[in-house]
Structure 1
């Protein structure tokens, strides 16, 4: 009589092995966290009087990933030549200083004057009505909009209780921005956008206290609420079919105080 293999048994054995490995990994991770927490209790406490200072200053570097959010109007829907406009994400650079004002044990007020460099893109896909062959009928155009901005975010920060030399926090607020190279850009490009922006911003971070300084990695999410389309310059251009153009940026910060 031939042996009959039962797939269910094999699958069950494989599942049990995976479950065992996952459980083993979780137990190992839990053990490491307990050990780390125990070690944290015995570790030297850096800057124990840090929260006694009312005002603190520092600086930061940021790596933003940004793009435009696009909302089309009826003109774009009825337009035959341009059939798609997109804004792929690009990476920029931010740097600046910060002032942190302690309000109480859990809340701080923060101001972060910032110089930011962005290279936001617009990509157009269009039908070339002058093309002689089907292969050349569909065209594509890319426009890199390199801009420099001065930004002034104001934030309310909520921080947890300090655990040894580590503390987590969240924050939220508003960011005002003004473009500093608007005149030069108008001379170079076919159309322009508004040179003022206003954003809602929020995020989270972790503070690591060291002997002589504190550094904090932060993740910021910024949503522009100002429509950057300028009707006087958009008319007759490829962006005439855009009803609303706003910014969206995710930024990784490293700050030092």
Structure 2
């Protein structure tokens, strides 16, 4: 299991990011134009560090409607972290093609509310994943404001390969089986702060999985009530480019 305090870490670091952004604003408003030739470079490289929040989008099976022991199935969010290498291809003054191969440590939960006499009981199944992600996106940027600040938007797709699909924990008899491959649509927004030697970019991105990841397991009630499982993710990252 990943550290149980990771949610507290996200909350703490989110506050630090907000403080850092507030500290950046006076700098970009007053300083001279930094990295004036950056947009003339054909290729840009950097590193991406951040946190993710993942869950499943659930479609119930027909068996769920008449199942006599499972009342509710939902997927509360779980947190993880990710690191990636940034490669940007400059297409024009405002456009870039971006590729960020990433290593993603993620969890997804399936929470079952069971009918147990007069009181309901809950049973939560956690699916841990170590994912190689290959996102490709089109990035459109605004003009610079105050010479050292700009907005941007992202739209693209990603292919994920779950390296943890063959782990011992994932092969347990009571764990729902999940396909190791996934394809998602991604979209997001970010800010660029230009410093003398690098660009700092806080970014938030949303990923919506397309294929059904559920691999049915015959005779497992936790699998029988599920029709389709599709991935849902939110990524909060800090990016540094030269």
TM-score above 0.5, yes or no: yes
CA offsets 1:59-109 (integer angstroms, 9 cap, x no match): 011211111111112110011111111111111101110100001112100
Equivalence for 1:92: 80
Structure number with higher strand proportion: 2
CA offsets 1:209-237 (integer angstroms, 9 cap, x no match): 00111110011011011101112x25533
d(CA) in 2 for partners of 1:212, 1:61 = 18
Equivalence for 1:169: 152
Of 19, 41, 45, which residue of structure 2 is paired with 1:57?
A: 45
With the length of structure 1 as denominator, give the TM-score of the two structures. 0.78
Q: Tell me if 1:199 matches 2:184.
A: yes
Equivalence for 2:137: 155
Of 59, 62, 72, which residue of structure 1 is paired with 2:60?
A: 72
Equivalence for 2:229: 245
d(CA) in 1 for partners of 2:59, 2:171 = 26
CA offsets 1:178-224 (integer angstroms, 9 cap, x no match): 10121114433533111111100000111000011111001101101
Residue 43 of structure 1 deviates from its aligned partner by 2.6
Task: Please identify the structure whose Cα radius of gyration is greater.
Answer: 1
d(CA) in 2 for partners of 1:69, 1:235 = 23
CA offsets 1:111-132 (integer angstroms, 9 cap, x no match): 000100111111111123xx6x
Residue 238 of structure 1 deviates from its aligned partner by 1.1
Say whether the 8 Å CA contact 1:192–1:234 is kept in structure 2.
no
Equivalence for 1:18: none
Of 30, 35, 38, which residue of structure 2 is paired with 1:47?
A: 35
**Post-superposition, which runs of at least 4 consecutive aligned residues in structure 1 deviate over 6 A?**
none
Equivalence for 2:12: none
Equivalence for 2:164: 181
Say whether the 8 Å CA contact 1:179–1:195 is kept in structure 2.
yes
CA offsets 1:2-45 (integer angstroms, 9 cap, x no match): xxxxxxxxxxxxxxxxxxxxxxxxxxxxxxxxxx89x93x6311
d(CA) in 2 for partners of 1:175, 1:140 = 34
Of 114, 126, 131, which residue of structure 2 is paired with 1:144?
A: 126
Q: Unpaired runs of 5+ in structure 2?
A: 1-24
d(CA) in 2 for partners of 1:86, 1:234 = 21
Say whether the 8 Å CA contact 2:55–2:108 is kept in structure 1.
yes
Say whether the 8 Å CA contact 2:55–2:75 is kept in structure 1.
yes
How many residues were matched structurally?
Answer: 213
Structure number with higher helix proportion: 1
Q: Unpaired runs of 5+ in structure 1?
A: 1-35
With the length of structure 2 as denominator, give the TM-score of the two structures. 0.83
